[in-house]
Structure 1
Amino acid sequence: MKRVNSWVTYLQVAPLSLVFLLFLVVPIATIVVVSFFDYSTTQIIPAFLLQNYEELLLSPVTWQTYLQTLQFAVITWVLTLLIGFTIAYYLAFYVRSPTWQTVLFLVCTIPFWTSNIIRMISWIPFLGRNGLMNSALLELGLIQQPLEFLLFSNFAVVLAYVHLYTLFMVVPIFNSMVRIDRSLLEAARDGGASGWQTLWNVILPLCKPGIAIGSIFVVTIVMGDFVTVRLMSGGQTASVGLMMMNAMSLLQYPAAAANAVVLLILVLLTVAVMMRLVDIRKEL
């Protein structure tokens, strides 16, 4: 009987295990293998070389690009955390009606009904040299000449990231907040805690799993992104994802694969640190 139950258990997990194997393990293993191959301008040559990693890790351009990507990830994470926490806090504690909570939450998801590229491009007529922002500031007399940093700059890249990925921070934090027992907040107020003390000592610790999940989403997406950097920086800024895309456009697939492996290791280390600091299993 125990042997039958064991076989039933294996059969139940087999479909998910097969999907996991085919769509995650095999592609990653393929990338790792290809990263050691040699290549020329016209072909990929099966081999086992460390040259791709040596060229990648010994290049100052690589380190500058990784630092730039980390900078984008950190700034985006901070801004999305502040904005996402504020929105989630308002929805969870200031909107009393569950119906209105649902309605306002759906309003936050409306931008996801359109393509990311369309949402990025929509910033161009607003931030351009002759765009709506500069025109309004000139009309008000607040500036004497158009602001050049608004578009095709690091500012535009970060702005697009925050616009695109704040919802990834709102959802898990809001999910954590609505689970908080309101009696804990009443106990904190009865104990003489101020609003900030309640926020810092009660709400924030209980929201750590949601913050960790949102942080993992935002950081991993930003680290691997290349479309936003390409469109919003006007080609003036590089990222790891963009560097890999350029390598693939030149048919340098082993070099791109080596870059992907290094990026994957960096992202996994970042996620591991987050999971060590916060037990996200409480949220799952």
Structure 2
Amino acid sequence: MSTFRTSYLQVTPLALVILAFLLFPILTIVIVSFWDFNAYQLLPDFIWGNYEFLLTSEVTLKAYLTTFFYAASTWLITFVLGFTIAYFLSFHVRTPLMQGILFVLCTIPFLTSNIIRMISWIPLLGRNGLINSGLQGLGLTSEPVEWLLYSDFSVILAFVHLYTLFMVIPIFNSMMRIDRNLVEASIDAGATTWQTIRHVILPLCKSGIAIGSIFVVTLVMGDFITVRLMSGGLSASVGVLIYNEISMLQYPAAAAGAVVLLITVLLLLSILFRFINIRQEL
């Protein structure tokens, strides 16, 4: 009996933290999402108008399609880059010291804030930036390339810059746990490098890929700063819509948008969990 009570006492602090800082705020957002509002105040009520407007608005549909496009594009690029970098660090860098040095180099961008890293692209991609100046100086273009900045390209580029490391770390951890004898056996059996990657390394990295995908997708789905800054206000994601509603003090509408976004992300994660059992893999 004492062991039973001790276990409950040990788990109580964590349970209280989760209740206070996770469940209670989410419950509050859900409650507020059913309230009414006007230009001056919130009106406690129980109405479906916020969700009805949200789910029937063409603006919301376009914002979700844009957000899905950003999430899918960023996931694909970060997966290719993350897998390649992790594979190089795991199988081509022989000494642990050099692995550590190269891994630290990958984390250097995180020494600065996200805003600074995004702003750093503007002098490179702008009309009079270094890339356009170089292209015109080499005679490859006669005028500045407009789509480099304030476009979907610049938004996805910033996302990749910000979140690639979130894909590298879990895949690298998965690869480091792979038994090297399996790789040698595959090579001895006559498999090419690509066949070994496809049939041996890739399946054994499923847990790392899944965890990295969770990080990247959830971060992109909820982001609004990157979209606002790198698109120049020309694109709207779900996060931008929620931010705009908060700016106009339309808290119930913003709460409804947050609830729908949360449900959407949870559905995406549930689909991902159907392909892999993370608990078993870990």
Name the TM-score class by shorter chain.
Answer: over 0.9
Distance 1:281 1:100 in 2: 31
Give the RMSD, CA atoms, in angstroms: 0.7
C-alpha displacement of 1:282: 4.3
Alignment-derived partner of residue 212 in structure 2? 214
The question of 1:61 aligning with 2:31 is answered no
Q: Which residue of 1 aligns with 2:102?
A: 104
**Could you tell me how far apart the structure 2 residues matched to 1:167 and 1:196 are?**
24
1:161 is matched with which residue: 148, 159, 169?
Answer: 159
Q: Does 1:74 align with 2:72?
A: yes
CA, structure 1 residues 113+282, in 2 after alignment: closer, same or farther (shift >3 Å)?
farther
Using the TM superposition, give the Cα deviation of residue 281 of structure 1 relative to its aligned residue in structure 2, in angstroms. 1.9
CA distance in 2, matches of 1:154, 1:12: 48
Output the amino acid matched with 2:276: V
Question: Closer, same or farther in 2 for the Cα pair 1:283/1:98, shift >3 Å?
Answer: farther
1:27-65 C-alpha deviation (Å, 9 max, x unpaired): 100000000000011111100000000000011111111
Q: Distance in 2 between matches of 1:146 and 1:250?
A: 36
Distance (whole Å) between structure 2 residues aligned to residue 220 and residue 282 of structure 1: 22
| Counterpart Cα distance in 1 of 2:134 and 2:277 | 47
- Structure 2 unmatched ranges of 5 or more: none
Within the alignment, does 1:30 sit opposite 2:28 as a pair?
Answer: yes
Aligned to 2:43: 45
- CA–CA separation in structure 2 for the residues paired with 1:59 and 1:77: 27
Alignment counterpart, residue 113 of structure 1, candidates 111, 116, 119: 111
Instruction: Please name the residue that 2:261 is paired with.
Output: 263
Q: Is the 8 A contact 1:176 1:283 kept in 2?
A: no
Counterpart of 1:122 (choices 114, 120, 123) is: 120
Q: Which 5+ residue runs of structure 1 have no aligned equivalent? A: none
Match of 2:169 in 1: 171
Quick one: distance in 1 between partners of 2:190 and 2:277?
29
Q: 1:274 aligns with which of 255, 272, 275?
A: 272
Aligned residue for 1:149, secondary structure, equals helix
TM-aligned CA deviation for residue 280 of structure 1: 1.6
What whole-Å deviation, never above 9, does each CA across 1:195-242 have from its counterpart, x for those lacking one? 111000000000011000000000000000000000000000000000
Which residue identity is paired with 1:261? Answer: V
Counterpart-to-counterpart distance in 2, 1:42 and 1:143: 53
Q: C-alpha deviations, 1:47-92, integer Å up to 9, x for none? A: 0000000000011111111000000000000000000110000000
Per the alignment, in what secondary structure is the counterpart of residue 141 of structure 2? coil
Question: By how many angstroms is 1:249 displaced?
Answer: 0.5
Q: Which amino acid is the alignment partner of residue 100 of structure 1?
A: M
Q: Following the alignment from structure 1 to structure 2, what is the Cα–Cα distance between the partners of residues 281 and 140?
A: 54
Per the alignment, residue 17 of structure 1 pairs with 15
Contact 1:180 1:206 in 2 (8 A): yes
TM-score by length of 1: 0.98
How far apart, in 2, do the equivalents of 1:79 and 1:86 lie? 11
